[in-house]
Amino acid sequence: MTNPLSRKALLVSATVALLAFGAFYSCTTGSGGKDNVLVGNAASKVYVAPGKYDEYYAFLSGGYNGQVMAYGLPSGRLLKFMAVFSQNPETGYGYNEETKAMLQTTYGFIPWDDTHHPELSQTDGVPDGRWLFINGNNTPRVARIDLKVFETTEILQIPNAAGGHASPFTTPNSKYTISATRFSVPIPNTDVPIESYKQNFKGTLSFITADQPGKMDIAFQILMPGFNYDLGHAGKGPSDGWFFFTTYNSEQAYQKLEQNASQNDKDFIVAVNYRQAEQCVASGKAKTTPADYFHNVMDEKSRVARSERKSSVKMLAPQDCPGLVYYLPTPKSPHGVDIDPSGEYIVAGGKLATVIPVHSFTKMQKAIADKQFDGDVQGIPVLRYSSTLAGEVQKPGLGPLHTEFDAKGNAYTSMFISSEIVKWKLGTWEVLDRMPVYYSVGHLMIPGGDSRKPWGKYLLSLNKITKDRYLPTGPELAQSAQLIDISGDKMKMLLDFPTIGEPHYAQAIPADLIKGNSQKFYKLSENTHPFATKAEADGSIRRQGKNVHINMIAIRSHFAPDNLEGVQVGDSVYFHVTNIEQDWDIVHGFGVLGAENAEIIIAPGETRTLRWIPKAAGIYPFYCTDFCSALHQEMQGYVRVSVPGSKVALKANISAKAATQLARAQALPKPVHEMDHKTDAPR
Residues in touch with ligand K7E (CB under 6 A): 116-117, 165, 231, 335, 401-402, 442-443, 504-505
Nearer to ligand CUA, 24 or 622 (CB): 622
CA 316/CA 164 separation, integer angstroms: 19
Phi and psi for 370 in degrees, rounded to 5?
-85, 5
| Residues 450 and 10: beta-carbon distance below 8 Å | no
Nearer to ligand K7E, 56 or 248 (CB): 248
Q: What's the half-sphere exposure (Cβ side, CA atoms, 13 Å) at 530? A: 12
Nearer to ligand CUA, 354 or 557 (CB): 557
Q: Which does 628 bind (CB under 5 to 8 A by kind): ligand K7E, ligand CUA, none?
A: ligand CUA
Nearer to ligand K7E, 18 or 587 (CB): 18
Instruction: Give the distance, in angstroms, between the CA of residue 85 and the centroid of all CA atoms in the same chain.
Output: 8
Q: Which does 588 bind (CB under 5 to 8 A by kind): ligand CUA, ligand K7E, none?
A: ligand CUA
The nearest distance, CB 216 to ligand K7E, in angstroms, is 21
Nearer to ligand CUA, 330 or 551 (CB): 551
Nearer to ligand CUA, 481 or 624 (CB): 624
Nearer to ligand K7E, 116 or 576 (CB): 116
Nearer to ligand CUA, 102 or 554 (CB): 554
Q: Which does 443 bind (CB under 5 to 8 A by kind): ligand CUA, ligand K7E, none?
A: ligand K7E
The nearest distance, CB 609 to ligand CUA, in angstroms, is 17
CA 133/CA 110 separation, integer angstroms: 19
Residue type, 682: P
| Residues 316 and 222: beta-carbon distance below 8 Å | yes
The nearest distance, CB 230 to ligand K7E, in angstroms, is 8
The nearest distance, CB 61 to ligand K7E, in angstroms, is 9
| Rounded alpha-carbon distances, angstroms, from residue 197 to 186, 193, 289, 434 | 8, 8, 21, 42
Tell me whether the omega of the peptide bond preceding residue 121 falls within 30 degrees of 0, making it cis.
no
The nearest distance, CB 507 to ligand K7E, in angstroms, is 12
The nearest distance, CB 599 to ligand CUA, in angstroms, is 11
Nearer to ligand CUA, 512 or 634 (CB): 634
The nearest distance, CB 443 to ligand K7E, in angstroms, is 5
The nearest distance, CB 586 to ligand K7E, in angstroms, is 38
Which parts of 43-62 interact with ligand CUA (CB under 6 A)? Answer: none
Nearer to ligand CUA, 564 or 635 (CB): 635
- Beta strands 540-544 and 126-136 are unpaired
Q: Which does 107 bind (CB under 5 to 8 A by kind): ligand K7E, ligand CUA, none?
A: none
Q: Which does 110 bind (CB under 5 to 8 A by kind): ligand CUA, ligand K7E, none?
A: none
The nearest distance, CB 92 to ligand CUA, in angstroms, is 14
Nearer to ligand CUA, 318 or 637 (CB): 637
Q: Which does 7 bind (CB under 5 to 8 A by kind): ligand K7E, ligand CUA, none?
A: none
CA 585/CA 150 separation, integer angstroms: 13
The nearest distance, CB 608 to ligand CUA, in angstroms, is 13
Nearer to ligand K7E, 243 or 575 (CB): 243
The nearest distance, CB 231 to ligand K7E, in angstroms, is 6
Count of residues in contact with ligand CUA, rule CB under 6 A: 8
The nearest distance, CB 639 to ligand CUA, in angstroms, is 18
| Rounded alpha-carbon distances, angstroms, from residue 315 to 203, 218, 356, 672 | 12, 10, 34, 39
Task: Establish if 588 lies at the interface with ligand CUA (CB under 6 A).
Answer: yes
CA 73/CA 172 separation, integer angstroms: 25
CA 437/CA 481 separation, integer angstroms: 9
Q: Which does 635 bind (CB under 5 to 8 A by kind): ligand CUA, ligand K7E, none?
A: ligand CUA
Q: Which does 335 bind (CB under 5 to 8 A by kind): ligand CUA, ligand K7E, none?
A: ligand K7E
CA 458/CA 58 separation, integer angstroms: 11
From 665, 520, 519, 530, select the one nearest 607 (Cα to Cα).
Answer: 530
Nearer to ligand CUA, 243 or 622 (CB): 622
Task: Establish if 543 lies at the interface with ligand CUA (CB under 6 A).
Answer: no
Which parts of 594-653 interact with ligand CUA (CB under 6 A)? Answer: 624, 626-628, 632, 635
- Tell me the H-state helices in 495-623: none
The nearest distance, CB 348 to ligand K7E, in angstroms, is 13
C-beta nearest to ligand K7E: residue: 442
Q: Which does 542 bind (CB under 5 to 8 A by kind): ligand K7E, ligand CUA, none?
A: none
Q: Which does 632 bind (CB under 5 to 8 A by kind): ligand CUA, ligand K7E, none?
A: ligand CUA
Q: State the burial class of residue 638 (Cβ atoms within 10 Å of its Cβ: 0-12, 13-18, 19+).
A: middle
| Region for residue 378 given its phi and psi (left: phi exceeds 0; alpha: psi -120 to 50; beta: otherwise) | left
Q: Which does 627 bind (CB under 5 to 8 A by kind): ligand K7E, ligand CUA, none?
A: ligand CUA
CA 162/CA 159 separation, integer angstroms: 8
Q: Which does 626 bind (CB under 5 to 8 A by kind): ligand CUA, ligand K7E, none?
A: ligand CUA
Phi and psi for 434 in degrees, rounded to 5?
-135, 145
Nearer to ligand CUA, 180 or 554 (CB): 554
Task: Establish if 592 lies at the interface with ligand CUA (CB under 6 A).
Answer: no
| Residues 579 and 573: beta-carbon distance below 8 Å | no
Q: How many CB atoms lie within 10 A of CB 394?
A: 12
The nearest distance, CB 556 to ligand K7E, in angstroms, is 44
The nearest distance, CB 585 to ligand CUA, in angstroms, is 12
From 70, 94, 73, select the one nearest 82 (Cα to Cα).
Answer: 70
- Beta strands 201-209 and 185-186 are antiparallel
Nearer to ligand K7E, 100 or 443 (CB): 443
Nearer to ligand CUA, 169 or 590 (CB): 590
Q: What's the half-sphere exposure (Cβ side, CA atoms, 13 Å) at 22? A: 1
Residues 6+ apart with CB under 8 A from 335: 230, 231, 246, 248, 349, 350, 351, 400, 401, 402
From 577, 583, 581, select the one nearest 607 (Cα to Cα).
Answer: 577
Which parts of 549-578 interact with ligand CUA (CB under 6 A)? Answer: 554
Residues 195, 201, 205: CA angle, nearest 5 degrees: 155
436 sits in which H/E element: strand 431-436
Residues 6+ apart with CB under 8 A from 349: 246, 334, 335, 336, 337, 338, 356, 400, 401, 402, 403, 413, 414
Residues 6+ apart with CB under 8 A from 483: 46, 73, 74, 76, 458, 459, 460, 461, 493, 494, 495, 496, 497
Q: Which does 469 bind (CB under 5 to 8 A by kind): ligand K7E, ligand CUA, none?
A: none
The nearest distance, CB 632 to ligand CUA, in angstroms, is 4
CA 353/CA 332 separation, integer angstroms: 5
Q: Which does 624 bind (CB under 5 to 8 A by kind): ligand CUA, ligand K7E, none?
A: ligand CUA
Applying CB under 6 A, the residues found at the interface with ligand CUA are: 554, 588, 624, 626-628, 632, 635
